[in-house]
Amino acid sequence: MSSTNKLRDNVERWLVHENYAFKAVKSDEDTFRILIKDIGSFRIPIEIFEPKKQLGVIVLSGKVFLRNPQTARYNKLTNSEQEKFKNLVKGFCDSIHAIHKIFKEDGKVVIGVYLVLDNVEKFTQEVVHYALGQVTEMSEKTYQFITKTF
């Protein structure tokens, strides 16, 4: 069994042990990608994946989708207003120590909040479970920030 398959199998086993409902997602950019739906009080989807370009690294990602009125408002902003919004989000995400990216998916504006685990030798169920809690908390804080400010 390859180390990538072992890593994926370990993550899936840990998620089952913690009673998370999840599914595998196809991705050309990752060796594996797992989607966990509806985590936390805001039910934000979380993905766990290993990028093909960074073997041995696990990334946990929360996706904060702007609501339809917010997306419509964002799309009406000028380029300079969009830059101000991006800088506002960057400042907030930096304050909570979250890596972030703003992108569009299925016609919606999404703020991806990321946590990177890069020491594969020390991956344990506890480490992944703790990181899942961290990315969920960062995603929820980002959601609350966007709801209050935009």
Q: Taking Cα atoms as reference points, which of 35, 37, 39, 11 lies closest to residue 24?
A: 35
Q: So what's the pLDDT on residue 6?
A: 87
- Whether the CB-CB separation of 35 and 20 falls below 8 Å is answered with no
Can you list the domains of the chain with their CATH numbers?
Answer: 3-149 (3.30.1460.10)
What residue ranges of the chain have pLDDT lower than 50? 1
Q: So what's the pLDDT on residue 2?
A: 55
| The token pair that represents 141 in the structure block | 């804080």
Q: So what's the pLDDT on residue 4?
A: 58
First to last CA, the chain: 48
Residues 47-86 pLDDT 10s: 999 999 999 899 999 999 999 999 999 999 999 999 999 9
Q: So what's the pLDDT on residue 53?
A: 93
